[in-house]
Structure 1
Amino acid sequence: MNLSSTEAASDDKGSTKLIVLWTLTGLITVVVTGRMYIRAGLLHNLGVDDWLIVFSLLMGLMYCILTTINVRLGFGKHAWLLSAATVEHATFLNCLSFLFGIVSFTVPKLAVTAMLNRILNASHIQRVCLWTLSTLAAIVSGVCIIILFTMCDPPRALWQTSLVAEGKATCKNVWMLIDYAIFTGALSGFVDLALAIYPSTVLMKLHMSLRKRLALCAALGLGSVATAMAIIKCTQLKGLADQEDYTYGTADLITWTNIESNIVIIASCIPTLQPFLLGNRTASSYNNSRNRYKRSNLPEYSHGSHSRSSRLRKMDFAVDTVESQENILPDAGGGQGEGGHSLGIIRRTDAVTVEYEQGGGDAVVVQSPTAW
């Protein structure tokens, strides 16, 4: 065996790919868990976007589990080093994992769209545009899955390639799948970029400090990184055409598919985690204010008598306001609704403590931010 053959025999992308996949998947598991804790445990305000992100995480976990099983079979090594049966099993698991991989980077786009419509004062046209883009990406990705599993007749010839050689099956040209997958990846990257740029056009118009605007733009704009990942993934799609060394040629594609989906999930969660990431004690303050409210015993007010006690009484309550210290969002509709603020979407909740002494002392108002 010559030197090149020896080096080829030692090539194994599987272990490296698993490290990358499980590191990122572990990270997004922590991030999504934090998001659900804040949204469900602290704010008690779960939305459609939260459940879509959880579903995306589950799809990503299935993707990693199937890839892990596949690597144990030999995926990531050169096909000629494996038995025909092993290559067949590895190819089947790889095709199945693509199903979960495509779903895992498609669904988060719907979640991001739902989140942007929830927290930003989007006009009707903007909402239609956002949902049209994300829905189009979902439909195109769904068609990609259909094309993948209908490439051959019968479909099992996709991984049992010997059926084609024996004349028992027919398959379409693999470049049909590759070309459509490149189109899917390009559209996916474009949608990620659009969803990342749109919030910045709104946030930079807000009446708040430049530092906060830039921080929010960076948080919501992280999805633009997924665009770069989608482009890189498209360059790896040619590995699908490597029928002679399929287990080795498609290993990089597995990695970039997972990275793209994880970046989108992280980008969708950062706005929820933003108070913690920026060092704001929002969650603890929120909990403290709620706990104080629950523990407080508010006395009944009587017009006929006053207590002579000099003891201080505290009344803790939550004040939901949009324009407490800062004007959060501009009025896109040109005016405010009846008896309310222009937008009830992004709120700042302040815990206000009013301390007063019934002996005639001055009231002291202590205000601290609790939740965005």
Structure 2
Amino acid sequence: MISMDTVATQRTALMLLIVIWVLTLLATACVVIRLCVRKYMHICGLDDCIIGLSMVSGIGLSFAVAATLSIHHGYGQHYKELNSEQASKALMWNVISLLLGTFVCALTKLAVAAHLDRIWGRVLSLSSRNLMWILTGMAPLFALVTIIIFITECKPLNALWAPAMVEAGQATCRDVSTLILFATFNGGEEYSP
């Protein structure tokens, strides 16, 4: 007999998939329409290229695919309900989706800066424009450093999604405090005005 917790978890997973894919497809449609209009009007700019790179090229879509695979393999269910292979696959795809999501957030900040530069480029002084690009350019740099710190956290890499390897002494992981501090800084930088 299926427990009520299992049914609730399956409903939650289904709802999460619906939200992920509806929002991803809606965002992709908006970006494609924007790119088509810009191309038709012959006013494509750097901001359009960056948005196209982050969404249409597949990075944004890859995030949704990785999140879907993570949920398919059991992410969101109670850990004790999964066998070790299911838990490992779910964590692996979750790690991949987190890394892709981190990079997409950084790319969109660059697109916003390019758009602002196009709008205000003639009004802002050169030093203001340079400052905007330097500060915004730090977002992908911080994201990249966060990703590097994360993927080098454990040796071998697959110990990130197979905690049994660490428990069995087959892998070693650093203290997570460095990752937590830098990811918190990166997260704060992502949501700063």
> What TM-score comes out, normalization by structure 2 length?
0.89
The count of corresponding residues between Structure 1 and Structure 2 is 185
Cα distance, 1:45 vs. partner? Answer: 2.1
Distance 1:122 1:78 in 2: 53
Cα distance, 1:87 vs. partner? Answer: 0.3
Q: Are the counterparts in 2 of residues 11 and 78 from structure 1 also a CA contact under 8 Å?
A: no
Aligned to 1:30: 29
Structure 1 residues 14 and 175, CA gap change in structure 2 (3 angstroms): farther
Distance 2:29 2:6 in 1: 37
After superposition, what is the alpha-carbon deviation per residue over 1:203-239, rounded to whole angstroms, capped at 9, x for unaligned?
xxxxxxxxxxxxxxxxxxxxxxxxxxxxxxxxxxxxx
Distance 2:154 2:73 in 1: 24
Alignment of 1:239-278 (within 5 A): none
Distance 1:99 1:50 in 2: 23
After superposition, what is the alpha-carbon deviation per residue over 1:275-332, rounded to whole angstroms, capped at 9, x for unaligned?
xxxxxxxxxxxxxxxxxxxxxxxxxxxxxxxxxxxxxxxxxxxxxxxxxxxxxxxxxx
Cα distance, 1:8 vs. partner? Answer: 4.1
Aligned to 1:111: 111
Cα distance, 1:9 vs. partner? Answer: 3.8
Aligned to 1:239: none
Aligned to 1:129: 131
After superposition, what is the alpha-carbon deviation per residue over 1:23-72, rounded to whole angstroms, capped at 9, x for unaligned?
2112111211121121101x112122111101111211100011112212
Displaced runs of 4 or more, over 4 A: none
Q: Within the alignment, does 1:179 sit opposite 2:178 as a pair?
A: no
> What TM-score comes out, normalization by structure 1 length?
0.48
Cα distance, 1:175 vs. partner? Answer: 3.8
Which structure shows the higher helix fraction?
A: 2
Bigger Rg, structure 1 or 2? 1
Q: 1:168 aligns to what SS in structure 2?
A: coil
Distance 1:81 1:179 in 2: 32
Aligned to 2:85: 85
Distance 2:26 2:13 in 1: 20
Q: Percent identity?
A: 34
Q: Are the counterparts in 2 of residues 8 and 78 from structure 1 also a CA contact under 8 Å?
A: no
Q: 2:191 aligns to what SS in structure 1?
A: helix
Aligned to 1:21: 20
Q: Within the alignment, does 1:50 sit opposite 2:48 as a pair?
A: yes
Aligned to 2:163: 161
Question: Which amino acid in 1 is paired with 2:99?
Answer: L
After superposition, what is the alpha-carbon deviation per residue over 1:145-183, rounded to whole angstroms, capped at 9, x for unaligned?
011101101111111212111212111223432332111
Alignment of 1:205-224 (within 5 A): none
Aligned to 1:71: 71
Question: Which amino acid in 2 is paired with 1:77?
Answer: Q
Alignment of 1:231-310 (within 5 A): none
The unaligned stretches of length 5 or more in structure 1 are: 1-5, 194-372
Distance 1:50 1:170 in 2: 43
The unaligned stretches of length 5 or more in structure 2 are: none
Q: Are the counterparts in 2 of residues 11 and 77 from structure 1 also a CA contact under 8 Å?
A: no
Structure 1 residues 185 and 72, CA gap change in structure 2 (3 angstroms): same
Which structure shows the higher strand fraction?
A: 1
Q: Are the counterparts in 1 of residues 146 and 183 from structure 2 also a CA contact under 8 Å?
A: yes
Cα distance, 1:11 vs. partner? Answer: 4.1
